[in-house]
Structure 1
Amino acid sequence: MRRLRLAALILLLVVAVVAIVRAVSVAGPPSRAQLREQAGLTGKQELLIGVKDDQPRVSQLLEGGTFAGFDIEIAYLIAEDLGFEAARVKFLPIESEDRARRQARTPDGRFVTVDLVVASYSITAKRREQGVIFSAPYLQTEQSVVTLKSGGLRPTTFADLAGKKVCTLATSTAEQNLTAAGAQAHGRNRISQCIQELYDGEIDAVTTDAAILAGFVAPPPVGDLPPMTKLTNPKPLHHADIGADGDELWGVNTGPDPAMRDLVNLSLEEARTGRNGKRWQAAFDKYFGHAQQYNVDQQVAVDRQPPPAPSDKVEVRRWPWERFALPDPNRPRPAPSPGAARVRARRNSGC
């Protein structure tokens, strides 16, 4: 009788443990595998990532068809955490105006929707209001200006650009800043077009994020193949610090799937605090740290990965009984206050 009672007690304990494990698995935060399944990555053979192809040291298409730059290293880091080795990652060029819609071009000229956009994409309140879902930031830089070294223009503020012809990316709020300063704004869809017009004497200056402009001032990293986008009649450039107020924080457009957003944020947080931190630093040192010596008057970017906002922090369940404070992936992000939106719109070039 005593043995029967013991057996019954053990059976009840086993049933209770199984029930608890199942309850936690259902009600608790998801595991990384569950997030991958929710994001549609399980069984997916190839990860499509939209990137820039004309920004030296940020993201550039080289002869031979390979891409190189800081954004490319970040994209590989994220892809690996999503379960895709480098051979299963496909980079496609994407224009500035197409980043919000995640529309990139294939080699045969077709537009396709990519899984992620890692393309020097500044996080702004306006873009979030328009529906772009950003990851946590992965780089902090600021707006700056380049001019020809041979010219006499040495701006220290936006006001110094009054009456000047200044080129910038057409989808950035830098155009509004230039117009407000009395400059003649020339919007282009590719920053390389702006730099070429500066070489040719058609404009007086180019403005965008310092990390983007730094690559045109510095020589390419040792060992890199020549770029596919070739500029003619290049001239030495002066990189000017215009004392821009505020930061440019680059983020990944993860698309509308909250599980994909959480996976990317998890990857970036582990890069900031865990095992991939050295990969982030190595990429920064190679592409931006090395470029700093050629950009004496302007800081290229901050040499530490920016921390996430509280709403971007993600934790997953590693064991069935673990419970972590994972934000509800279906909960909409709190809308910024109108005042905060105005400040962000004023302070960001939004490249």
Structure 2
Amino acid sequence: MSQASEPNPAGPAPADTTSPRTARSRQIRLVGLTVALAVLVAALVPIVLAAGPPTRDELLEQAGMKGKQQLVIGVKDDQPGISQRFGNNVWKGFDVDIAYMIAGFLGFDHSQVRFLPIESEDRARRQARDNDGFVTVDLVIASYSINDKRVDEGAVFSSSYLHTEQSVVTLKSFKGQVSSLEDLSGRTVCSLTTSTSIQRLGEAGAKPTGRNRISECIQMLYDGTVEAVTTDAAILAGFVTGDRPDDSGQRFPVTLRNVKPLQHWDIGSSPQERWGINTGPNKALRDLVDLALYVSANDEEDSTWEDAYNTNLRWQQGYNLPQPVAEQQQPEARKVEVRQWPWERIALPAPAHPGSPATPPTRAVRVGWRGRGRRSSGC
């Protein structure tokens, strides 16, 4: 048998038996399904938009940040390593770096941030001094410990962004040991007037005196008017460090008179201090600040907080032993739910600092001492 006459092993090709009516029916069903899905999506989207959490953009609108040209932040101006004003209106310190981080998340670059000095007694009202008058600032980031009394006074706190504890500073030449506030019984001790440390000093048998600025307390210590100063360790550390340099040569300028070497004392079971940001009564602004802190604490690619800690606080530790300066780990922040479409989670990460240096590719290890505190002294 010739090859041409051999039967096809695969058999004859099946004929297309689909009738025109069947094909048209399938097309109609497909069109109907497509229309039904479109109607369903159109019905569900408004429900999701109405019932779901707001988007970050909506929060910015509700907080009054959209179109705003300047963010005004109240900070301390006399705390080395925390917030200090230098010549030409240059501000440096841990609180300043945290302020820039929050501002960047809100859409402001460094040139759009305006810092104003704020006194401790004005932080709850968010009133900072501007020349001869007062201005209501958008945020207060001023070594402000979270406690119930301040909430009752009107402060609205974000999640905490630093944990430290109360400590004591004396002159290096101080005779004796300070392991608790009771060791200061009968001695004159200075602290911030608005701090509940004043009450604790009285309970410990000391003779408390209050000032509005911690630098005033330190000056009194140099002058021999008081024998000790007490407030948060992270605040006192900068004065103990003084003008001694870090590895890169950074120094804190000495602006006080009659400067003498200081000793930092660890008073053991001191209260934990949880610093928060006073955002005022605007709930959307508080949510945005908490969202910025949450992203910073949970984004492994973001080392902004660690960089601020290393630059301003970590290197001081050697000069302040045995007292820990502050916890080396960023506190966990409240998780704020915001609405994002799936593609936004991939294509639209949380904004970095506009106008800031690029974030280093590696993240510092988040380990460190934990405060021993039980209640806040409220510095």
Tell me the distance in 2 between the aligned counterparts of 1:219 and 1:185. 25
Structure 1 stretch displaced more, 229-238 or 296-305: 229-238
Corresponding residue for residue 340 of structure 1: none
Tell me the distance in 2 between the aligned counterparts of 1:251 and 1:66. 23
The one of 20, 24, 44 aligned to 2:48: 24
Tell me the distance in 2 between the aligned counterparts of 1:218 and 1:52. 18
Shift of 1:150: 1.6
Corresponding residue for residue 219 of structure 1: 242
- Could you tell me whether the CA contact under 8 Å between 1:24 and 1:321 is conserved in 2? no
- State the one-letter code of the partner of 2:144: Y
SS in 2 for 1:159: helix
Shift of 1:64: 1.8
- State the one-letter code of the partner of 1:316: V
Superposition pairs of residues 184-203 of structure 1, within 5 angstroms: 184-203=207-226
- Confirm whether residue 313 of structure 1 aligns to residue 332 of structure 2: no
- Confirm whether residue 155 of structure 1 aligns to residue 178 of structure 2: yes
Tell me the distance in 2 between the aligned counterparts of 1:224 and 1:91. 22
The one of 308, 311, 315 aligned to 1:283: 308
Q: Residues 199-246 of structure 1: CA distance to partner in whole angstroms, max 9, x if unpaired?
A: 00010000000000000011355565865x821110000000111333
Tell me the distance in 2 between the aligned counterparts of 1:189 and 1:277. 36
Shift of 1:13: 1.9
The one of 35, 43, 60 aligned to 2:59: 35
**Matched-pair identity in %:** 55
Superposition pairs of residues 224-303 of structure 1, within 5 angstroms: 230-274=255-299, 277-303=302-328
The one of 63, 68, 82 aligned to 1:44: 68
Tell me the distance in 1 between the aligned counterparts of 2:342 and 2:50. 9
- Confirm whether residue 119 of structure 1 aligns to residue 142 of structure 2: yes
- Could you tell me whether the CA contact under 8 Å between 1:270 and 1:276 is conserved in 2? no
The one of 119, 122, 125 aligned to 1:101: 125
Max radius of gyration: which structure?
Answer: 2
The one of 71, 74, 83 aligned to 1:59: 83
Structure 2 unaligned spans of 5+: 1-23, 345-372
Tell me the distance in 1 between the aligned counterparts of 2:258 and 2:289. 41
Tell me the distance in 2 between the aligned counterparts of 1:28 and 1:347. 37
Corresponding residue for residue 3 of structure 2: none
SS in 2 for 1:269: helix
Shift of 1:155: 1.2
- State the one-letter code of the partner of 1:189: N
Tell me the distance in 2 between the aligned counterparts of 1:226 and 1:134. 29
Distance 1:276 1:163, change over 3 A: farther
SS in 2 for 1:142: strand
- Could you tell me whether the CA contact under 8 Å between 2:167 and 2:270 is conserved in 1? no
Corresponding residue for residue 10 of structure 1: 34
- Could you tell me whether the CA contact under 8 Å between 1:52 and 1:119 is conserved in 2? yes
- Could you tell me whether the CA contact under 8 Å between 2:79 and 2:235 is conserved in 1? yes
Instruction: Choose between structure 1 and 2 for higher RCO, CA contacts under 8 A separated by at least 6 residues.
Output: 1
TM-score normalised by structure 1 residue count:
0.87
Corresponding residue for residue 177 of structure 1: 200
- Could you tell me whether the CA contact under 8 Å between 1:167 and 1:188 is conserved in 2? yes
Tell me the distance in 1 between the aligned counterparts of 2:196 and 2:139. 23
Tell me the distance in 2 between the aligned counterparts of 1:36 and 1:146. 43
Structure 1 unaligned spans of 5+: 323-344
TM-score normalised by structure 2 residue count:
0.81
Distance 1:275 1:40, change over 3 A: farther
Corresponding residue for residue 366 of structure 2: none
Tell me the distance in 1 between the aligned counterparts of 2:199 and 2:217. 17
Tell me the distance in 2 between the aligned counterparts of 1:178 and 1:139. 24
- Confirm whether residue 210 of structure 1 aligns to residue 194 of structure 2: no
- Confirm whether residue 165 of structure 1 aligns to residue 188 of structure 2: yes
